Amino acid sequence: MSNMKTVPETAEAVCGLGAARSSAGTGRLALASVLAGIYIAFGGALAIRAGAGVPPEWGSVGRLLFAGVFPLGLLLVVFGGAALFTGDVMYVSAAVMRGKARLAGGARALCLSWAGNLAGALLLAVMIHWTGIYLDGGGAVGPYVVALAAGKCSQGFWQLFVKGVLCNQLVCLAVFMSLSARDPAARALLIWPPIFGFVALGMEHSVANMFFIPAGILTASALSAVPGPDIVPAFGWGDFLVRNLVPVTLGNVAGGALFVAAPYCLGLREARAEEGQAPDAGASAAAIKSGLPSDMGNEQGDRERPSGPGDSGGGQRAAWI
């Protein structure tokens, strides 16, 4: 057996995961979504520490270090069994387009995923703030995170929208490629380059911003209470929600649904129709039966397995955690 699935096989797995997401229980999906928000925030927190310590005269080295460690977040999501909104956009859109899930169920799953990611990212932002690690010793980390957040709140709607489109195109391709590999090490290696790419290019990820901007707001509030020559940029929760999170979220949805799910899953269906073949539901059924645990498949998801005594209707419900 090859260590890599074909593109059509991977697209079938994506559709199966989208069907599982759309029918998942509310409590389970909510918890998996909160975990994803925490995991992405961990990647963001590490990226800030890596990027803030680089002297300005080193040029782009700081940005590259920032981008180099940020993929930790998606690796934790994929291998830790969490539900990330940006990846779920691809899954759910593919399943709805292929008729494997209803629009109402898909919309419900995405709303739960987005809200859970926000709750998890805010929780970690508050906890990081309580530790004081961005303010220790009056170093450069505090001003760095404030400037990062201020920059994200100062851009125009369409600029942020397009950055959101391009970001989630790369994020979903990272997840799509990881699904094509059967070896865990290969999956991890396939995830890293696209995530490094979107961060180094300065694209916008809604869930990452759910951590970066609140962390900047909290740090700015602390810095403003300390006398000093630096002027803390003025931005707040309204700027976070309206000026950044709305356009970036819409862009992420367009990027995952129109630029990844549609060409791969609808294109696959058209190719099968031209060949006179019925769509193969085997991979989708296997994905659902296997209880896929995360934003990618596992070895058992590559093949059918007998239903166990706990199965209902011939297959187990998807369980991410």
Summarised one tens digit per residue, pLDDT across range 141-150 is 888 999 999 9
Q: Which is higher by pLDDT, 99 or 290?
A: 99
Please tell me what DSSP assigns to residue 99: T
User: Does 142 map to a domain?
Assistant: no
Please tell me what DSSP assigns to residue 122: H
Domain count of the fold of the chain: 1
Question: pLDDT (tens digit, 9 = 90+) per residue, 139-175?
Answer: 678 889 999 999 999 999 999 999 999 999 999 999 9
Q: Is 31 exposed, middle or buried (0-12, 13-18, 19+ CB in 10 A)?
A: middle
User: Does 318 map to a domain?
Assistant: no
User: Does 283 map to a domain?
Assistant: yes
pTM higher than 0.75: yes
Q: Which is higher by pLDDT, 297 or 145?
A: 145
- Spell out the residues 6+ positions from residue 92 whose beta carbon is closer than 8 angstroms to its own: 18, 21, 22, 101, 106, 109, 110
Q: What CATH number does the domain containing 274 carry?
A: 1.20.1080.10
Query: Token digits for 298?
Result: 């596992």
Query: How far apart, in whole angstroms, are the C-alpha atoms of residue 321 and residue 55?
Result: 41
Query: Token digits for 40?
Result: 């992405």
User: Does 71 map to a domain?
Assistant: yes
User: Does 60 map to a domain?
Assistant: yes
User: Does 228 map to a domain?
Assistant: no
Domain that holds residue 98: 7-118+154-202+247-302
In order of 32, 76, 103, 128, the CA distances from 72 in angstroms are 17, 6, 32, 17
269 pLDDT tier (thresholds 50, 70, 90): low
User: Does 16 map to a domain?
Assistant: yes
Q: Is 6 helix (H, G, I), strand (E, B) or coil?
A: coil
235 pLDDT tier (thresholds 50, 70, 90): confident
User: Does 240 map to a domain?
Assistant: no
Query: Token digits for 117?
Result: 């990611």
Question: pLDDT (tens digit, 9 = 90+) per residue, 89-142?
Answer: 999 999 999 999 999 999 999 999 999 999 999 999 999 999 988 887 556 788
- Spell out the residues 6+ positions from residue 43 whose beta carbon is closer than 8 angstroms to its own: 69, 70, 71, 72, 73, 74, 76, 208
Determine the length of the chain.
321
